[in-house]
Amino acid sequence: MSERSALLQLRTARLTYAEVGATTGRLPSGYAHLRRRRVIGHGGADFESASHALMRWDLHRRSGLTVLADSEHLAEDVNVLLGFGIGRLRLKVPCRVVYLVSDPDLRGFAYGTLPGHPESGEERFTVALLTDGSVELAIVAFSRADQWWSKLGRPVGRRVQVAITQRYLRALG
């Protein structure tokens, strides 16, 4: 099956977790939690540039992932098939955008996992213009292994998630 066909099949898929939107507040129990942030610039121009890059999947592309999405512009219910690795060893990671953040000084989105993703959970990416003029990228996630092979290799999976998060934090700075 082609990646384009796989992306089309995601339209009818259900999210693999019940706590949709939980990255807006207290993270649910029963999952591993991740919270990371990094100053990536200063001032309104850096905020606008980082926000634009974030909302067009550039954060993911700059982090070394392939991106095949329903839309190049993020919106609720957009499905994305992220790819990690190379060739036949590329892991396909299906997600759906579950909400957007669009405030004057805070922009971003969260996506949730779909069937076939090695994890079950949600990840939120935001860019903020802080009161001191700093521009900050923040990532918040909750997840747990969802496939037999990811459960078996859970310690490795956590290290991969942390490594990808570090790539994200460097991608816009």
Domain ranges of the chain: 3-20+32-171
Q: Does the global pTM surpass 0.85?
A: yes
Considering only residues 140 and 147, tell me which one the structure prediction assigns the higher pLDDT: 140
Q: What average pLDDT does range 65-87 have in this prediction?
A: 89
> Which of 148, 91, 104, 93 lies closest to 130 in space, CA to CA?
104
Assign a CATH topology to domain 3-20+32-171.
Alpha-D-Glucose-1,6-Bisphosphate; Chain A, domain 4 (3.30.530)
Q: How confident is the model at residue 148 (pLDDT cuts 50, 70, 90)?
A: low
Considering only residues 71 and 1, tell me which one the structure prediction assigns the higher pLDDT: 71
pLDDT in tens, 3-46: 778 778 888 999 999 999 999 999 999 998 999 999 999 999 99
Backbone angles phi, psi at 22, to 5 degrees: -65, -15
